[in-house]
Amino acid sequence: MGERGAIDKYKMDSNKMLWHLGNVAKWQKGENVAPVHIDMGLSKGCNQHCVFCYGMFQGNEFKKGYEIHFSGEPLFNFLRDAAALGVKSIGFIGEGEPLVNPDVYKAVQIGKDSGIDIAMATNGELLDKDEALEMLKRLTYLRFNVSAGTERAYRDIHKVKPGVFDKVIENIAYCAKLKKEHNLPVTIGLQMVLMPYAIDQVIPLAKLGKELGVDYLVVKHCSDSPDRSLEIDHSKYLDAVEIFKEAEAISDEKYGVVIKWSKLTNEGKKCYDKCQAVPFFMMRVSGDGKLFPCAQFFDHRQDEFMIADLNKVRFKEAMYSKRYKEVVGAIQNLNVHTECMTNCKENSINEFLWNLTNNKPEHINFV
């Protein structure tokens, strides 16, 4: 585990709650606390149609949704409000492809200039090379979603035409080159959403990432919907332990292969009975600008869980409103074992908070 800890210097396989204990203390006292982080879609559309896409359960309309996005002054006001309320970071991550949104590059600038750490996850196909340098100067990290290490497997998983894989790889290499030439602090990584039948792609992708000069490859599970529509067989991940170890061994002092061991080996099971992470420590915004505690409700049970439409209501007005408190109550009443997706992004935070509030040992002062 010591070696894995050195590889995963970003703590992707855990959480960073120990560095936000002030927020935790406020939460324990029942005080209003702004989320540390917000993941937000910028579009309801995407240029790819990946087989693992959870966005299809969130209202992602792929190419049909190109014209539906959170943009203009409502988007910029949201970013400024978030900074003013104490949000630490925002990721343009989730639902649709952020580069579909014509205001994406300006949003990166405004978010960073407002004092928020900004990150982005993209499939990389639509990258505007003329905008790349200024964007990289402002991002904390840029993550490319690449879930195969060979062109044929990439086409099968991402559902794209021939030639797209080469274009994506070219764009990744270009960003890595810019980072090196301009000595930028931005972290550039790859993410593999691992379908159980594509385990043979782990090693090729780990080697490709090293060749491209990125900082890391993270290999993660595929989350499934509450009704298990994707039919993910989590047990298949357990059969790949030796392959995961071989991939980790490709790491060196400049490049890390991060395996999300905790989620790849927990078979999608939860050790907690209540979601306490949202909306107190994380929140989500859909690609059309609606505020939710959790991404799984973007196109499912909206009447119960949508807090506000940020195209019509300012974020600073939506936070701590009567509606916000109603949604908090609804979240607390969820059965996380039957009504939630498997291995959500908040899973590790929920484990931390559950142990803090439900597994208090005796003699706590004898540290």
Is residue 265 a part of any domain in this protein?
Answer: yes
CB 167 within 8 A of CB 127: no
End-to-end alpha carbon distance in the chain: 23
Which CATH number do you get for residue 290? 3.20.20.70
Portion of the chain with pLDDT greater than 90, in percent: 78
Query: Residue range 138-143: average pLDDT?
Result: 98
Task: Answer yes or no: is pLDDT of 284 > 60.
Answer: yes
Is residue 68 assigned to a domain?
Answer: yes
| Residue 54 covered by a domain | yes
User: Which residues is 300 bridged to in the sheet?
Assistant: none
Q: How confident is the model at residue 1 (pLDDT cuts 50, 70, 90)?
A: very low
pLDDT at 57: 54
Over residues 222-250, the pLDDT tens digits come to 877 676 767 777 788 899 999 999 999 99
- Asked if residue 367 belongs to a domain, the reply is no
Residue 315 is assigned to a structural domain of this protein: yes
Domain that holds residue 107: 2-358
pLDDT, position 346 = 93
Q: How far apart are CA 138 and CA 185, in angstroms?
A: 9
**Residue 366 forms part of a structural domain:** no
Per-residue model confidence as pLDDT tens digits over 21-70: 999 999 999 999 999 999 999 999 899 988 888 666 555 566 677 789 99
Per residue in 88-124, pLDDT tens?
999 999 788 999 999 999 999 999 999 999 999 999 9
Q: Distance between CA 232 and CA 223 in Å, rounded? A: 8
In this structure, is residue 114 part of a structural domain? Answer: yes
- CA-CA distance, 346 to 297, in Å (whole number)? 14
Q: Which residues pair with 282 in a beta bridge?
A: 37
169 falls within a domain: yes
How many independent structural domains does the chain possess?
1
Percent of the chain at pLDDT above 70? 94
Per mean pLDDT, which range of 2-11, 99-108, 168-177, 340-349 is the poorest? 2-11
On whether the CB atoms of residues 90 and 82 are closer than 8 A, the answer is yes
The residue among 196 and 163 whose pLDDT is bigger is 163
